Homo-oligomer: A and B are copies of this chain.
Amino acid sequence: MRNQEKDYSGVSVQALWRLPYYLNYIKSLDEAKYSCISAPIIAKALNLNEVQVRKDLAAVSNSGGKPKTGYVAKELISDLEEFLGYNSVDEAILVGVGHLGKALLSYQGFENCGLNILMGFDKDEAIIGTNVCGKQILPLDKLKDLCWRMSVNVGIITVPAKEAQMICDMLVEAGIRAIWNFAPVHLHVPDYVLVQNENLAASLAVLSKNLTESLKEK
């Protein structure tokens, strides 16, 4: 529901979620001081179990670590980036250029993660023809043709919940292979299309439930 189910390449879904944190942490280190980094140190920094870190790293890196010293930071970084696909760019389009859509369109950080959002689509005449951070906003009727022509694989849905399934169908029709869905609904897609849900309301529910329980404890 939340994540993809399958675990590709021997890496579990949950492990995959941890990888960006490893990468981020290792990158944040002072290179001179930490040319090598060990599993226990990473584990401590990220509040994880040391064995888990070792296992996760083993799954994505052949570089291997040395007893006493740990792993070579540089190699880990490049292995993680390679594994996460940060080096190969996916082309994406976004549908629904409202508050959230605009935030995503203007975010630079995705480019470092191998996602290139080419343009936005909306049904609102007022916004069609404008651009957000240099990215054009186009009408929906251009969607299919452009996706085919530019071989876009990823579609981002930031329209209101009740429009989401319709837009989803349109994206599938346009040859999209993966959908990043921010609308709080379950989408129906053919088998060959991936859906990654980013359900902030669900996330919030988890937070508030835990908060309630945590406050109760005292």
Contact = CB atoms under 8 A, between A and B. Distances in A.
Judged by DSSP, the binding face of A is helix
Nearest to A211: B178
Nearest to A179: B207
Contacts of A18: 1
A20 interface: yes
A159 to B, nearest CB: 13
Given A17-B1, A20-B201, A102-B103, A206 B212 contact: no
A53 to B, nearest CB: 11
A17 to B, nearest CB: 5
A177 interface: yes
Given A9-B213, A103-B99, A212-B85, A205 B19 contact: yes
A204 interface: yes
A84 to B, nearest CB: 5
A66 interface: no
Contacts of A61: none
Given A18-B1, A184-B20, A8 B210 contact: yes
Contacts of A16: 205-206, 209
A19 to B, nearest CB: 7
Interface stretch (A44-52, A70-78, A123-131, A142-150): A44-52
Interface in A188-207: 192, 194, 196, 198-207
A62 B206 CA distance: 20
A69 interface: no
A109 interface: yes
